[in-house]
Chain A
Amino acid sequence: SYEVTQPPSVSVSPGQTASITCSGDKLGDKYACWYQQKPGQSPVVVIYQNTRRPSGIPERFSGSNSGNTATLTISGTQAMDEADYYCQAWDTSTVVFGGGTRLTVL
């Protein structure tokens, strides 16, 4: 079965750029999405179809997907961005989530 892998944790200083990767075989041939989840809350999509940002999501969130790696980039990271982030890909008839990355802003 298809799998995607994320680093368990990423740390960033306020105002700096955070990058969270998601790796999978030929992931660049698929659409990738990114979801943000804060404690006690449901996931919220921040990036879909590799690079598209839903209305209401700040411009500091961006995405890319090429080769075997999709990347979520948060420019000018703010304290409110501290959360768990999950990548998600579509594989034929099923869906796969990465294990999640805890973003710490310190």
Chain B
Amino acid sequence: DQQVKQNSPSLSVQEGRISILNCDYTNSMFDYFLWYKKYPAEGPTFLISISSIKDKNEDGRFTVFLNKSAKHLSLHIVPSQPGDSAVYFCAASGGGADGLTFGKGTHLIIQP
């Protein structure tokens, strides 16, 4: 039973354009959401987060939007750069569990 779902295994975006990565969750008890970025053969690195009491959080080129009623969040990257090519994991905390619950990831490919 996957509580955090990333339905797009991969996404290809042209350099300079906006990248939008989506994530859905089923557990309404999750109270904190995070995005991690992962390069091959490296560990995940924290990118940006949002509390369930907010609907938007912005950090430079990265913005995360949360729609609690739809149990949906998205990560916007604008403008997309070649170094953004990586696997992006959506994660959630709370819901009675320790640690983070991760989605399967979306492989973002930025094309020149």
A, B assembled together: no
